[in-house]
Amino acid sequence: MQICAQYGIMPEILGYGKDTDLLDAMQLRHFDIILLSKDGPEGFLSARHIREADKRVRLIFLTDTGRYAVMGVRLHLTDYIVKPFEFSHLVRALKLAGIGGGR
């Protein structure tokens, strides 16, 4: 919210507890950016399902390990952030996604 407010953008922020809920919502609407915070192989499986559902969505992956970063390239992630992270890392990722003078 802080980043969007800084650039005069009013985001609609939605949270989904289950992958299936997000994937169902993706059938009904377009998402510009998805921040996926899920660790380990399950997180990457979720990222792959999201990418299969929408090849254009900007997907920022938040995880506890850099172990899967190379796989992130294959999924065309906008950014891959390892937790814990600094606020500046999220700012950079959102700029890459087109918020605040990015793309």
Give the CATH number of the domain where residue 25 resides: 3.40.50.2300
Domain that holds residue 71: 2-96
Asked, for residue 12, whether it belongs to a domain, the answer is yes
Asked if 57 and 34 touch (Cβ cutoff 8 Å), the reply is: yes
Q: How confident is the model at residue 6, as a pLDDT?
A: 77
pTM of the model: 0.85
Asked, for residue 31, whether it belongs to a domain, the answer is yes
Asked, for residue 80, whether it belongs to a domain, the answer is yes
Q: How confident is the model at residue 102, as a pLDDT?
A: 53
Paired with 59 in beta bridges are 34
Distance CA 47, CA 27 (A): 16
- Cα 35–70–83 angle (5° rounding)? 45
| 28: DSSP letter | H
Asked, for residue 17, whether it belongs to a domain, the answer is yes
* pLDDT tens by residue, 26-47: 999 999 999 999 888 888 899 9
* pLDDT tens by residue, 59-91: 999 988 888 788 888 889 999 999 999 988 988
Distance CA 51, CA 7 (A): 27
Asked, for residue 103, whether it belongs to a domain, the answer is no
